[in-house]
A and B are shown apart, each in its own frame.
Chain A
Amino acid sequence: MIRIENVSLRIRATPILRDINLTIPKGGVVALIGPNGAGKSSLLSLIARLRPLQQGTIHIDGLPVDRTPGPELARVVAILRQDSTVASRLKVRELVGFGRFPHGRGRLTAADLEIVDQALARFDLTDLADRFLETLSGGQRQRALVAMAFAQDTDYLLLDEPLNNLDMHHARELMRSLRAIADTRARTMVIVLHDVNQASAYADRIVAMQNGRIIADAAPLDLLTPDTLETVFGFRMRVEIIAGKPFVLHHL
């Protein structure tokens, strides 16, 4: 369980997050939506202790993120950042292998190699495994980064816009993988998404943020209504129910 209590964040006197309270139970897929600058990435950075906590507390499985030793937390939670750029000349397999670092501190066992191979296969990277990252396309590189987070094999996975640069096929595959892992292994996924229809199709629960606050938090069917969507994104859009799932026609 991720427990966020009374978390606020300021950067140079500008409030970025205002009194966030959120509990995410173990197992399942939670989508985080909201307009640009709402504070989604900031919240994820705080959960993954990439930024120091200024106010409030965050616990993951009872571990306070600001006081738990880094190596211990790295076996519990993994994060994919929104703007990861890799300048190093590493091969895809090497990068994904570093996802195993928290478990063996650098020594890859046969079991580790197996997990790396699985992650490569899951994201359609097997053929690219021995290529240098700099020679990949943007979407292939994004998949390599996702595979690295997957290889870390943690109970909690925080993904900030993982669908960036992915084509329709790979975006769908990624969302299906996340769903499958959440279901079969009781993993917890927190995913920042801009495509509300992906959230509708794959998330158990959607949390909507705006201007540093959580302004809505419900199952897709209850949250994706024209009224709520208008409050969050500032314009009115049509919502159709297809096969029991809300379908947002935001582009019309």
Chain B
Amino acid sequence: MTSAFSIFPSRRGVVATLGLAALGVLSLFVGVSPLPPGRLLRDPQALQLLVVSRLPRTLAALLAGAGLAIAGLIMQTLARNRFVEPATAGTAQSAELGILLVTLLWPAAALPLKTLIAAGTALFLATAHRLPPTQPFLVPLFGIVYGGVIGAAATFAAWQAGLLQFLSIWTSGDFSGVLRGRYELLWLAAAMVAVAWVAADRLTIMALGRDAAIGLGIDPARMMQLGLVIVSVVSALTVVVVGMIPFVGLVVPNLAARLIGDNMRATLGWVAFGGATLVLGCDIAGRLIRFPYEIPVGTVMGVVGGILFLWLLLRRS
């Protein structure tokens, strides 16, 4: 619990900000259609490309990355378990099932409504089960099985309705379809990060256990609800707008815990920052590796995140 103004104490913060800014600029000028910075001033079409496609894509990657990393942090704090994240605990799969159902039953529904229903489904399915926090490996194991069952239900429903291609769009995160007017919902993820910032002390205390929380005057049930709402909204938003991106919510909070600790007031800024950097970096890499073809960010992140996670696990012992 340090002062509220020390989100980024020290020079490290400045270096990180400059690094992310450089990545952001790079992201604006890397892609299938060439966009040399010099042409922006002369060519209105180039400016158009920047404003309609590259800028939204860059912002979407930053917002989704920050949101997912915070969602993972909150999930790990509330479950008191370092091995859970939205993609491995059934939340993302629940959101998928939610939009699939609304697409089937109400095809004309607008994107915000779909998101809302997806978030609702995720929230409902997240509260549908309770697990003792005393079993460190049971929680993620259960989450994977639970997510698998829900994912199977979604696949079956999509197959029956001939919507399997749509499902694969949601399951594999991809920013190539992000255009102006189609990503703005993601700003809600930034709002969720702000909510998490306000509740940071309470969430940290929740990690001390139910009794410690009550002893300090916190209502554990209400904090749990708040956390689940944040996690569900962020998961649903990213699944609806860009598709599932694995490992961000797992790797970034673990790294922050290793380096800074579990005091959310101190780590939250770094976690949001790290998530944004990682996702944007993987998106840029996906655009460059097989240029001019793109590799979806979900795939790149699967590899990069997997390697990072293994490294964290092996370094642990």
Contact = CB atoms under 8 A, between A and B. Distances in A.
A90 B263 contact: yes
A98 B205 contact: yes
Contacts of A132: 261
Interface in A66-110: 69-75, 78-79, 81, 84-91, 94, 97-102, 105-108
A90 B77 CA distance: 13
A74 B1 contact: no
A105 B204 CA distance: 13
Contacts of B292: none
B216 A74 contact: yes
A214 to B, nearest CB: 24
Nearest to B257: A89
B1 A98 contact: yes
Contacts of A102: 216-217
A236 B207 CA distance: 45
Contacts of A106: 1, 200-202, 265
B215 interface: yes
B257 A79 contact: no
Interface in B282-300: none
A72 B210 CA distance: 18
A207 to B, nearest CB: 22
B204 A88 contact: yes
B217 A74 contact: yes
A152 interface: yes
Contact of A70 (B207, B212, B219): B219
Interface in B188-204: 200-202, 204
A101 B208 CA distance: 13
A225 B76 CA distance: 52
Contacts of B1: 94, 97-98, 100-101, 106, 108
Given A72-B217, A73-B217, A101 B201 contact: yes
B104 to A, nearest CB: 43
A119 B4 CA distance: 23
Contact of A48 (B4, B202, B215, B219): B215
- Taking residues whose C-beta sits less than 8 angstroms from the other chain, chain B's interface range is 20 to 34
Which of under 10, 10 to 19, 20 to 34, or 35 or more describes the interface residues of A?
A: 35 or more
Contact of B261 (A50, A74, A81, A94): A94
Contacts of B215: 48, 50, 74, 78-79, 81
A113 B174 CA distance: 47
Contacts of B257: 89
Contacts of A78: 215
A99 B215 CA distance: 9
Contacts, number: 81
A88 B208 contact: yes
Contacts of A59: none
B261 A91 contact: yes
A170 interface: no
Interface string B90-122: 000000000000000000000000000000000
B177 to A, nearest CB: 39
B307 interface: no
Contacts of B263: 88, 90-91, 94
Nearest to B266: A94
Contacts of B3: 108
Nearest to A104: B1
A49 interface: yes
Contact of A87 (B202, B207, B217, B265): B207
Contacts of A50: 210-211, 214-215
Given A88-B204, A88-B208, A101 B262 contact: no
Contacts of B205: 98, 101
A48 B217 CA distance: 11
Contacts of A84: 209, 211-212
Contacts of B212: 81, 84
Contacts of A74: 215-217
A49 B261 contact: no
B204 A98 contact: yes
Most buried by A among B202, B211, B212, B261: B212
Contacts of A89: 257, 261-262
Q: What 5 A-B pairs come out closest when comparing CB atoms?
A: A74-B217, A106-B201, A71-B217, A88-B262, A70-B217
30 contacts: A48-B215, A50-B210, A50-B215, A71-B218, A73-B217, A81-B211, A81-B215, A84-B209, A84-B212, A86-B208, A88-B262, A88-B263, A89-B257, A89-B262, A91-B261, A94-B1, A94-B263, A98-B201, A98-B205, A98-B208, A100-B1, A101-B1, A101-B201, A101-B205, A101-B216, A101-B217, A101-B218, A106-B200, A108-B2, A108-B3
Given A45-B211, A74-B216, A89-B261, 6 more contacts: A50-B215, A70-B219, A79-B211, A90-B262, A100-B1, A106-B202
Interface of A: 45, 48-50, 69-75, 78-79, 81, 84-91, 94, 97-102, 105-108, 132, 152
Interface of B: 1-4, 80, 200-202, 204-205, 207-212, 214-219, 257, 261-263, 265
